[in-house]
Structures are given as C-alpha cells and as structure tokens.
Structure 1
Amino acid sequence: MRNFHLAGRSTVHARNAMVATSHPLAALTAIDVLRAGGTAVDAAVAACALLGVIEPQATGIGGDCFALIQPKGEGKIVAYNGSGRAPMAAKPEWYLERNMHTIPLTSAHAVSVPGAVDAWATLLRDHGKFGFDSLLQPAIKAAEEGYVVAPRIAFDWKNGFDKLKKGTNTERYLLPHGKPAVAGDVIHQPELGQTLRAIAKNGRDAFYKGAIAEDMVETLRGIGGLHTTEDFANHTTETTVPIGTMYKGHDVWQCPPNGPGITMLVMLNILSRFDLTKFPAMSIERFHLEAEAARVAYMMREQRIGDPAQVEVDVAGILKEFADEYAGKIRMDAMLDLPKVSPPMNPSTVYITVVDKDRNVCSFINSIAHSFGSAIVSNKTGVLLQNRAAGFRIQPGHPNCIAPGKRPLHTIIPSLVTKNGRAVMPFGVMGGQYQPVGQCHVLTNMFDYGLDVQEAIDMPRGLHYENVYQLEDGVPADIVAGLKKLGHQTTSVIPPLGGAQAIWIDWDKGTLTGGSDPRKDGCALGY
C-alpha cells in the first residue's frame, strides 16, 4: 500500500469505464465520449486526435498508429497495424548511388506515409459508434481556439528548440515569437484546425487524396523527397492476429512485426527462466537481469526483424529457441559478450488505454517517431510529419532495409494481458527504444513483486542502450556501483524514461483500477 506520508499518486478506481492518457485534457475528452455512449475506440480516437494538437512533440495525424482490441474483454483479440510505408520510388540503390548509408532524421527521406488517420478510420469502422465528425471536434477546438501548454510538453519543446529552428516550416508553425513554448503559453494552430475540419467532414480520403495530400507531397518533393500522391492514396491499414507468450500464468499479447512487440516477448521469455523474487525489486541482480535480457532481445530485433510482407520473420523460433538459447548463457557475475547494437530510432509517442462500460478493451498507441518528428510541417496544412522511415537501414539484404512500399521496423507497442482468455490489463509504456524494457519492468513489478498498477509505473527505471546503462535519478547509488562492478557502463538520463498507462480489470468485483505515469502530464480517470 502507498505510504501517504510520501509524495506519490493513488490508483484511480471506477465501476463503469476508465481511461489513462498522458494529458488530463485528453483523459477528460475520452471520459466525455464514454459518458455520451461511445465505445473504448471512440474515446481513444477522440483523445488521440486532441493529443496530436496539444502534445505536438509526440503524436499527430502526421504519424502512425497501432492498436489491440478485445471486444467485451474476452474472445478474439484483433491487432491493427497502422504504420506507413516508404514511397514506391525508395529503392536502396537510389540512396547508395548518392552515397547515402543512413537516412537523415530531418530529411524528406525520413518521412513514411502517415498511417494514423486511416488506422483511426478502420478502428472506428470495426469498433466505433461515432464518426470523425464528432470525435475530432475537441482537437479542432484546441487547434483553432488555442490550448495551454503543459509542463512536460514545455520541457520537450525547450529540448527541441534547435531542431525546430532548422526545420521546414517549423519556425512558422511551432515557434511562436521565435521561442519554444513554456508552460502556461496559449498556442493556436489554425491551419491544423482546418485540416482536421476537412477530415471530420470528408473522412480519411480528405487526408490521403486531394488538396491535403497534394500539399504534403509538394512539401516533401520540394526538399528532395520521392513521395507521390499515389503513395498516399494507396495507403491501407493491416488487420491481423496478435503474437504472445505466457508469463506467471498470464498471456501477454503484442502486435506482430513490423511492430517490435516481439522484443518484449523475448525479454519476458528470458526473464521467465529466472526467479526474480529471489532478489529485491530494487537490487543489482534485478537490474542486471533486465539489462541482459534487453541486450539479447534488442540484438535479435536489429538482426532479424523487418516488414513480414517483404521478408520472412520466424516469430515462433525467435520466441522459443532463440530465447532458450540466450537465457542459458546469462551470468549473474558478468555481462554477456554481445555485439554493439545501434538502433537508428529513439522516438517519442503517446499511449492511451480505455475500457468502456461494456468492457470493450482498447490498447492504443500513436507516434510521429522522434520528438517533433521530421521537423517538417506541410506548407499549408499545419501537419507535422513523422520521421519513421529513418528507422530503415540502407543495407541490401538486411531484413529492415528500405524498399518500395515497405514498412520500417517500428518502436511503438501497445500491449494487452489476459488470463484464461479474458482481458485483465491493457497497458503500454511510451519512450522510444525503452518501450519493451518498460513493459517488462512494469509487468514484473506487478507479477513478481506484487505492486499495484501505479506503484509498478512509479518505480525507478533503467535502459541499456548502445552499450550504456541509462539510469533514472531514483536508482540508488549502491545499485549503480554494483552494476559498474559487473561491467556495466552507467550514466544518468536527462529526460525520464518513458511514460506508462495501465488499467487493471477486476471481473469478480466489477471494478477498474487505473495508473498513469508521473513522468508525463496525464492521469487516469474513470466514472
């Protein structure tokens, strides 16, 4: 139980419905939709559209979306892959002929076709009661009438100042008065509001065809991009089957590749070979094991995962044989000797979880990749475009090598935990490359150490990334010293690692328990 003498957050409890998001206005918007009779998907789309305005560094209609949906919290789980594709002209030879071996993060080549709007439309078609005409109104109002900047968003805005100064149209759209927004500033984005109005009136085609798509293509081609209006018009969302594994009697589900959820499942399968309860939750041993599992899983991901529409991905073999092989190699007294892994992406994102009164469950994530995406805003529409295609390799033969119409290896992963086929926790952890580690950290905090959803989210975190163990300030000095003795190079992090949301479903009591990360501005709300 939480010590009420100390700073912290209580879990949030409700009987009817609940939402957890990274911004209180988005949570309130979702509750308004639920109270009006909307479904979990209706609420998630309305909240996400609003976040695309008021949390512009992390998400927007210029980005991508993944979701896991379980109607009525039992039975078939559906995975939605709303990731965009490379232009049809994006052949690896084109880049190599120009001596390009990586894709610059703020170039037109970093922009894949945004998949979010089509994903929202597909989700609403399958699981919604309302349409864009009503669900986008809060976002339209915020863009046109103005919104107040929240503290964490201001923190990210300040850190992104140099990037925005050098971007395409970003100074005009995202640097009011030539300075980064600070907490309490009121920001207006009328051009984005008009774009949202067009989508509200004419649906997804308003974004992928006609004037808006033409403006995005014109903007990108004007700075060297290979995009065409056909690339936008031909975009589709994939509906598929989730992949999963069992941990501590619970099934844990992820979207399949090109989503990176398999990374988290490999980590869980490795950690399941160890009895974490032998070590305290805050201990050298626990942090060491988490780091070693992450290093192995991330190595696998960078070597073996790509778009399964264009390369073969052995999901079953990776989850079983690969995890078994490396779990047996992990030592408690030293680090494994593994090749250095340098993933090309470390983006930002927003995660939303919603459970409605009918217990429809929605685990939903939306991102423009790096903070402020590509720093390219479409000339007339106010759409800030993602830089997800910078996640491709330019390395023929690599499973994640760029190719025409190919989807890049992603970083965003919504998750869903079930027990005996019934949903018990839709959850996610934002934060770029941290997400698989963050999900394992939260889940093991709960299932191995008995913490509630809020305590599990609050606990200090670490990420072993590019051969350095990045540790939050809350990790005690003796643990840091112990990790160094085992060979880990450690450093502190400036932004905190990620941000989590979770809802626990108690079917016996008929209640919902929500948690939301204090590392962000948001909250869980229920009624």
Structure 2
Amino acid sequence: ILRPQPGFAEHFLPRGRAPHIGEHFVLPSAAATLKRIAASGGRDFYEGETAHKLVAHAQAHDAALTLADLRDYAPEWVTPIGQTYRGHTLHQIPPNGQGIAALIALGILQNFDLASRPVDHPDTQHLLIEAMKLAFADVYSHVADARHMRMTHEQMLRPDYLAERARMIDPRVAQAFASGHAPQGGTVYLTAADKNGMMVSFIQSNYMGFGSGVVVPGTGVSLQNRGHCFSMQPDHPNVVAGGKRPFHTIIPGFLMRDGAPVMSFGVMGGNMQPQGQVQTLVRMLDYGQQPQAACDAPRWKWNQGLAVDVEAGLAPAVAQGLRTRGHVLEGIDDPYMDFGSGQFIWRLGDPAVDGYVSASDSRRDGLAAGF
C-alpha cells in the first residue's frame, strides 16, 4: 500500500522490498536527523533543518503544516485523573485521551459484587461488557480537547452519576447503549521500574498501521495520523479545528494504593486499551490473579451495538452464556491485533528487598526482563 510513497520507499524498502527477518539495513537519513535533534536539545525538530524539511514536504503536497505550527508547539504537563476501585486508585492521562473510559467502567463496576461469582462466568463477563459499553457511550459523545469539552471529566466520574449509569445495566440482557467509531491502532507500550521504586508507564503510537504512511524524504521521519480521530460532525466537541488536539487512544495506566505506587502497566490496541485494562484489573483486584495469569486469560472486545469479538480460548460455556444474554459474538483466531497486548510491573513491598512481579503479553513480541 505504501510503496508509491517516495519517502517511505526510500527509507523502509531497501533493495525495493521490505527487509527480511534478521536482515541488516541502515537508515542514514534518520541517523542524521537524530544527531541534529540531539545536538540542538530537541529544537531542530521544531525550528531547525528538520522542521524546514517537514514543512517543505507538507506544503509541496498541499498540506496545512507551517513552520509556526512546529515552532509554537509546547508539550503539556498534566495532572492525572483517577478512579478508586477495590481499595486502589487507577490513574490515567486526562482527556483528550480515552483513558477515562477505563475509569468510568470501573466506577460503574464498583456498584456490583463481582467476586460473588467466578471471573470466568457469563454473569461476570456480561457486567464487564455492559459497563464498557456505557463508558464508551460517554467517551465517544463527550471526550475531546479538554478546552472544548461540554461535559467535564469530573462530571463524568461523579459517584452518583456512575451509580445511575450502573442501574441501566440489565444483568440478563445485552443492550446497545450507543454505537461509536472504534479506532484501530499501531502502538508500542513499555513499563520500567528500578530498585528505588521509580516506576514509568510509557506509550507511543504513530496510530493506524504505519501512521499516515508519509515519510519525509531525507529525514526518516514518519508522520502520525492522529487527526483521523477528529469528528466531522460540526456540533461535536471533537470536531476538527486548528490548534486543537484530537481525541486519542493511547493510555498509559498507573495503579496506586494509599498514595503509594502499586503497578505501572498498559495495554496496546486502539479502543481495546481501556477494555484490556478493565479486564485485567478486575482479574487482579477482584479475584487475586497475579499479573501474568490476568494477562494470559482470554479476552473480548466490544465493537459497537451488540457486537463483541471474542478470543478462541474463551470457554464455550461463557460464550454460550453471553449469546443467551443477547451478545452477538464473533470468534477471532488470531489475537495479534484484535485483543491488545499488555505489559505489567507490580511492586512487592520495598523494591530493593522484595522486588517486582512483571508480566508480558504473549499476543505480541514483548518480554519481561530484569537487569
């Protein structure tokens, strides 16, 4: 698909094709770009040679990017938002991200005694699916650049509001609370921790597949396509506009208890990210499963309406129980892209003495490593 793109072919199709597994190739232009960025303390990307190359390529193809856009950009240092659940607090980056979906779902599930039934029981999984649907109904309706939202994240996380949403769930019948665009993603997540207790939850994404597919010739810079997540509805808070950040899917997670860090974690995969976080957290916090077991357990992914994708490993009795409740299930044999991929580090007391438990998802090529 991307072969005709001049910059893409130049950098990522050496010898006119994709590199073979294990084949050595070099990216000299990308190396030169990284050297300029390092030597300038980062400024080259925003106002130096790299910036001029990015803008020249964009304007040569009728794109809207200007030097002022890059020069005036500034990252934001934000305060995480949180939701208590079973004595813990899950923290997320605030909107314009979808992390609030996981907080809403857990806030709804807080109103149910999940542990009264086994985790792999149709009643339990039905409640999780319905809570996730309600969360996405709010997220797809209201989440945008925080400066443009008409419903604040505080309002969306009010306990009385979440209890009201919980009462909408019928424990025996699946409902279509709302349909929404379900973005796909191409994301990398990592988490790290040291002997002093410092923990980092980090996520990066060019978005769908290879991002936009635009690789600026002579730079090795591959441009993302996060603008895909803007709405085209004029009355939507996430409608596309200049100087505005789009709704986005990447959500590094962080779990705390009594003000102390417990787990740095994340789940990759578009709108699967909050769904994967909720499913694994319920297994750990309600049912006492250790991180790798929670990570390995079969997952489902709500798409829209009553449609739910399920992994082939889901127990037949659970699948049949969900169908009986009205869920429309589609089995997916290849879990690589569809059910996310999680990485988890759980702190055990004093890190210098007790260490950590780590887990890495078998659905992709991550790993847990200690040094």
Q: Does 1:481 align with 2:325?
A: no
Name the structure 1 match of 2:273.
Answer: 435
Name the structure 1 match of 2:92.
Answer: 254
Name the structure 2 match of 1:68.
Answer: none
Aligned-partner Cα distance in 1 for 2:51–2:216: 9
Counterparts in 2 of 1:397 and 1:520: CA distance versus 1, 3 Å:
same
**Mapped contact 1:373–1:385 kept (Cα < 8 A):** yes
TM-score (norm 2): 0.93
Deviation per CA, 1:88-107: give whole Å up to 9, x if none. Answer: xxxxxxxxxxxxxxxxxxxx
Q: Does 1:236 align with 2:74?
A: yes
**Mapped contact 1:306–1:313 kept (Cα < 8 A):** no
Counterparts in 2 of 1:191 and 1:394: CA distance versus 1, 3 Å:
same
**Mapped contact 1:499–1:520 kept (Cα < 8 A):** yes
1:325 corresponds to which of 164, 181, 199:
164
Which ranges of structure 1 fall in alignment gaps of 5 or more residues?
1-161
Question: Greater RCO between the two (CA within 8 Å, min separation 6)?
Answer: 1
> Match of 1:324, as an amino acid?
A
Counterparts in 2 of 1:240 and 1:481: CA distance versus 1, 3 Å:
same
Secondary structure of the 1:519 match is coil
1:520 corresponds to which of 364, 367, 371:
364
Aligned-partner Cα distance in 2 for 1:397–1:375: 30
> Aligned pairs, how many?
364
**Mapped contact 1:353–1:362 kept (Cα < 8 A):** yes
Q: Does 1:295 align with 2:133?
A: yes
Compute the displacement of 1:167 (Å).
4.0
1:469 corresponds to which of 305, 308, 319:
308
Aligned-partner Cα distance in 2 for 1:322–1:401: 26
> Match of 1:274, as an amino acid?
F
Aligned-partner Cα distance in 2 for 1:451–1:193: 44
Name the structure 1 match of 2:348.
Answer: 506
Secondary structure of the 1:526 match is coil
2:200 corresponds to which of 362, 383, 397:
362
Deviation per CA, 1:469-527: give whole Å up to 9, x if none. Answer: 11122212332232222221222334431111111111255311111111121212223
Aligned-partner Cα distance in 1 for 2:36–2:9: 24
Give 1:104-143 correspondences, 5 Å limit. none
Aligned-partner Cα distance in 2 for 1:183–1:480: 37
Aligned-partner Cα distance in 2 for 1:461–1:170: 35
Aligned-partner Cα distance in 1 for 2:172–2:19: 47
Aligned-partner Cα distance in 2 for 1:500–1:314: 29
Name the structure 1 match of 2:220.
Answer: 382
Q: Does 1:342 align with 2:181?
A: yes
Aligned-partner Cα distance in 1 for 2:176–2:269: 26
Compute the displacement of 1:190 (Å).
1.8
Aligned-partner Cα distance in 1 for 2:3–2:304: 28
Name the structure 2 match of 1:454.
Answer: 292
Secondary structure of the 1:274 match is coil
1:274 corresponds to which of 95, 112, 119:
112
Counterparts in 2 of 1:264 and 1:224: CA distance versus 1, 3 Å:
same
**Mapped contact 2:10–2:217 kept (Cα < 8 A):** no
Aligned-partner Cα distance in 2 for 1:426–1:235: 28
Which ranges of structure 2 fall in alignment gaps of 5 or more residues?
none
> Match of 2:75, as an amino acid?
T
Aligned-partner Cα distance in 1 for 2:168–2:4: 46
Counterparts in 2 of 1:187 and 1:286: CA distance versus 1, 3 Å:
farther
Aligned-partner Cα distance in 2 for 1:186–1:443: 40
Aligned-partner Cα distance in 1 for 2:169–2:226: 33
Compute the displacement of 1:283 (Å).
2.4
**Mapped contact 1:168–1:375 kept (Cα < 8 A):** no
Compute the displacement of 1:199 (Å).
1.4
Compute the displacement of 1:237 (Å).
0.8
Name the structure 2 match of 1:139.
Answer: none
Aligned-partner Cα distance in 2 for 1:300–1:412: 17
Aligned-partner Cα distance in 2 for 1:337–1:506: 41
Q: Percent identity?
A: 35
Secondary structure of the 1:353 match is strand
Counterparts in 2 of 1:168 and 1:288: CA distance versus 1, 3 Å:
farther
Q: Does 1:490 align with 2:334?
A: no
Compute the displacement of 1:224 (Å).
2.5
Aligned-partner Cα distance in 2 for 1:477–1:187: 46
Counterparts in 2 of 1:300 and 1:226: CA distance versus 1, 3 Å:
same
**Mapped contact 2:133–2:178 kept (Cα < 8 A):** no
Counterparts in 2 of 1:235 and 1:291: CA distance versus 1, 3 Å:
same
> Match of 1:488, as an amino acid?
H
Counterparts in 2 of 1:397 and 1:216: CA distance versus 1, 3 Å:
same
Which structure dedicates a bigger proportion of its chain to helix? 1
> Match of 1:229, as an amino acid?
L
Counterparts in 2 of 1:171 and 1:426: CA distance versus 1, 3 Å:
same
Aligned-partner Cα distance in 2 for 1:445–1:328: 23
Secondary structure of the 1:297 match is helix
Compute the displacement of 1:310 (Å).
3.3
**Mapped contact 2:190–2:343 kept (Cα < 8 A):** yes
The RMSD of aligned alpha carbons is 1.7
